[in-house]
Amino acid sequence: MNLTNRARRTRKRRSFLKDRRGLAAIEFALIAPVMILIYLGGVELSQGIALKRMVGLTASTVTNLVAQYTTISASTQMPDILNASSQVLAPYPASQATVTISAIQIDSDGKATVAWSQSLNGTPRTTGQVMTVPAALDVPNTTILYGEASYDYTPAIDFLDQGNFTLTSSIYMYPRASSTINLVQ
């Protein structure tokens, strides 16, 4: 009797080892968490890259719009231009964005200072603030525009627990219609 039980157990072991039913389900159960992690990571990464691109586009769009003026109104035209950033950033909320445009005056000695600055959802640069500009743009007796955009990005999923990121972009641009742009109230 002991021998037959041992033989039965041996046959059951062989039968169990040869049985392939359910193998696909076990393999899927092992690989599914990895697949989900890769998918969610890809979604999070692609959203961050898309938003970084939009932040750069916002800085260049606002600066480009201001560069086309010779005189710009701080009370009527500038708020419209700065608020246009919400259209560039759509579908992301513009309330998390800070957009600043500054006119930088470079004197005859090559000293660059802020002539005027306007901002959306942030603090504009201080008039007279000394700025460092790239050497290629540091031309005496000129005015350049400096556009800045930043966005406090909170990942939708954040499964890596990285928290918020601040995405930033800036651009320098020369005025197009005149040598300087006057800001009037």
CA 53 to chain centroid, in Å, comes to 6
pLDDT, residue 138, reads 87
pTM of the predicted structure, to 2 decimals: 0.78
- The mean predicted confidence, pLDDT, of the chain is 87
Whether the CB-CB separation of 58 and 169 falls below 8 Å is answered with: yes
Residue type at 162 in one-letter notation: Q
Token pair belonging to 20: 């392939």
Cis peptide before 91 (omega within 30 of 0): yes
In this predicted structure, the answer to whether residue 38 has a pLDDT above a threshold of 80 is yes
